[in-house]
Amino acid sequence: MRIATWNVNSITVRLPRLLAWLESSGTDVLCVQELKCGPETFPGAALRDLGYESAVNAGGRWNGVAVFSRVGLSEVVPGLPGGPSFEGAVEPRAVSAVCGGVKVWSVYVPNGREVGHPHYAYKLEWLAALRDAVAADAAGETPFAVLGDFNIAPEDADVYDIAAFEGATHITPAERAALTELQRTGLSDLMPRPLKYDRPFTYWDYRRLCFPKNRGMRIDLVYANAAFRGAVKDAYVDREERKGKGASDHAPVVVDLDR
């Protein structure tokens, strides 16, 4: 079984590339973030034509997550149970489903904007709610993983130059501590193997030639329980999908399971 996560940065803009990638990659389950569409404009028919069912949590112009599966889709839960709101709105940042005997969450963790901003506090509250929501599945015997754009680089080596991020979000002790708390539920950071570069970055800003210069970050993560990790055959970043016209600023992270 091939499971992947990908922040597509607008499914409407990225749809031709997304459909082509699903066909060429042989992906069975794809967790998607940053749909940037509402339910009425979600391209469900195009995905069904490729054999994928969809579990979607989308609300309009911003955010939005989904799980696409061609190996079955059940027990769908849209939203983060117990999750906080921001400025009075509960944002569409999580959806979970069981696909082919594996339970997955697709998550889009709040960005945080800047240290001290209300969105930063919201980010930490959201991560605490995520930890509580996944604890039972993390400790269970069913293969389980939380996949998505966490907007946190777990270690200094997960950014191209730690000095360039001094005072910024994504690397603060509080954010990384939230990931540590997530791991205490029984989940572990599933590190993709390096291919072209020593560190498998997953995101590169569109500006300042960040991708050609490999000025990236590893913020698209897979946190898996013991049953999931025990079935892993391979894990890698599909860096090729970040290339060319019309690419997302994130690359897919792909995990192959022996099931």
> Which pLDDT does position 149 carry in this prediction?
98
pLDDT at 197: 72
Q: For 99-155, write each residue's pLDDT tens digit.
A: 999 999 999 999 999 999 999 999 999 999 999 999 999 999 999 999 999 999 999
Active-site residue (options: 52, 108, 122, 160): 108
Cβ neighbours around 129 below 10 Å, total: 16
Active site residue 250: yes
- 151 has binding-site annotation: yes
- The pLDDT value given to residue 194: 81
What is the separation of C-alpha 87 from the centre of its chain, rounded to a whole number of angstroms? 24
- Give me the pLDDT at residue 86, please: 97
Can you give the three-state secondary structure of 193-233, one letter per residue?
Answer: CCCCCCCCCCEECCCCCCCCCCCEECCEEEEECHHHHCCEE
Catalytic residue selected from 149, 220, 238, 256: 149
Tell me whether residue 149 is one of the annotated catalytic residues.
yes
Sheet holding 253-257, edge to edge: 53-57, 65-69, 29-33, 2-7, 253-257, 232-237
Residue 49 a catalytic site member: no
Q: Which domains does the chain have, with CATH numbers?
A: 2-257 (3.60.10.10)
Task: Name the stretches of the chain with pLDDT < 50.
Answer: none
The model carries a pTM of 0.97
- Say what the pLDDT of residue 98 is: 98
Q: Which residues in 50-75 are b (16+ Cβ under 10 Å) and which e?
A: eebbbbbbbbeeebbbbbbbbbebee
